[in-house]
Amino acid sequence: MTAFSAVDVIAAKRDGGVLSDEMITWMLDAYGRNEVAEEQMSALLMAIFFRGLNDHELDTWTARMITSGERLDLRGLSRPTVDKHSTGGVGDKISLILAPLVAACGAAVPQLSGRGLGHTGGTLDKLESIPGWRATLSNEEIVEQLETVGAVICAAGAGLAPIDRRLYSLRDVTGTVEAIPLISSSIMSKKIAEGTSALVLDVKFGNGAFISEPDRARLLARTMVRLGEAHGVTTVAKLTSMSAPLGRAIGNALEVTESVEVLRGGGPSDVRTLTLELAVIMLELVGLDADPATALDDGTAYEVYRRMITAQGGDPDAAMPIASLIEEVPAPRSGFVQSIDARSVGVAAWRLGAGRARKEDPVSATAGVMCLVREGDRVEAGQSLFALHADDDAHLDLGREAITNAVVIGDEPPSLDDPQLDLVRA
């Protein structure tokens, strides 16, 4: 292949040009060989942030990230494969419930997940609060667990889309996370490489999501659906609001506890509702006629969850860790809760210790926020709005400061509309 100059590729996109297949392939491959410097790839990412990629450029970019590593082969499984991916949100614990639920209905769910960054939590961080549970599995272990249990939630192996692994970290420190071509290629390269035959995308919008505007979220959804279908993965996206926290628990161990409540037939209604909506779509995509609500209520999904945790070294009966400091936040006045700002709550949980500012930062298993009220609730002055969980006074002070203005209280009940938008299909 003809060697290009990294500067020429950067300049071409900076000036609004279209990158050829050869330019994209050379740039990504050379970066993988450390022949393109980090600052040069950073410059190209910023050029893409402002100039975008057309469909053909994005197809080539995504395909090269997939072929930069191995692909998991799940064709030998006795169950149909279907996965779900969320673009992330505050209190978004759906994967912990959904994977065993859909497995209980007859599918195999290969949930290769990530860690949290900033104000949104990571599925692996949550599960690692369970004593003994391990996130890292070999490809052989993944396939075996899918066959015997039906569900696996683990870290993507180093061999899957390795260039994306590097670009993901680079995007985070260069202010290019929100670029739709870069988000979509990152998500879809990993999901296509994991070998699933069908995929449901939960694309969040609102002030607690990476993309706040519904129109941009819909564009992201359409882009990812097109990429999935182009690579042979039946893909559907659902757009859901992330303006208020999902459920009551925000934080690693707190969210595991709440997920178990839902798996045992209880838990917050919004978590249960979204889980069931996504489960119905997933089962439809792989042609399984089963009622996920029954599997939640009769304990079948909970038993699959227990087997999934046990298979990965965890103890599903172990007591979850609890923070050493818990402080409640009182309402400043009486009235009706008009809104609960998801981003403020997420930032508070992060500053309490539940999240990280850099990928290498440790997280606290016990830190987080419990939302004690919901939008529309009547509250009295001094009534507790939140319970802040922290391991030390310094983190508690940071969390208290971040959540000060998270709730708006008014004199009249608010109008609560359903903010969810339509499905996006190919």
Summarize pLDDT for 34-92 with one digit per residue, the tens: 999 999 999 999 999 999 999 999 999 999 999 999 999 999 999 999 999 999 889 99
Say if residue 117's pLDDT is above 70.
no
Q: If you classify domain 83-311 with CATH, what class do you get?
A: alpha beta
What is the rounded distance in angstroms from the CA atom of residue 221 to the CA atom of residue 240?
A: 11
Q: What CATH code would you report for 6-52?
A: 1.20.970.10
What is the rounded distance in angstroms from the CA atom of residue 262 to the CA atom of residue 45?
A: 40
Q: Structural domain boundaries of the chain?
A: 6-52, 83-311, 325-410
What is the rounded distance in angstroms from the CA atom of residue 142 to the CA atom of residue 414?
A: 47
What pTM was estimated for this model as a whole? Answer: 0.95
Catalytic residue numbers, as ranges: 85, 164, 171, 186, 190
Q: CA-CA-CA-CA torsion for 354, 355, 356, 361, nearest 10 degrees? A: 40
Summarize pLDDT for 368-396 with one digit per residue, the tens: 999 999 999 999 999 999 999 999 999 99
The predicted structure's pLDDT at residue 422: 77
Q: What per-residue string of b and e applies to 368-387 under the rule 16 or more CB within 10 Å gives b?
A: bbbbbbbbebebeeeeebbb
Q: Output the 3-class SS for 38-53.
A: HHHHHHHHHHHHHHCC
Question: What is the pairing mode between strands 198-205 and 423-424?
Answer: unpaired
CATH architecture of 325-410: Alpha-Beta Complex (3.90)
The number of residues making up the chain comes to 426
E-state strands within 106-218: 109-113, 151-155, 198-205
Summarize pLDDT for 184-212 with one digit per residue, the tens: 999 999 999 999 999 999 999 999 888 88
What is the rounded distance in angstroms from the CA atom of residue 205 to the CA atom of residue 207?
A: 7
Say if residue 2's pLDDT is above 70.
no
What is the rounded distance in angstroms from the CA atom of residue 45 to the CA atom of residue 22?
A: 17
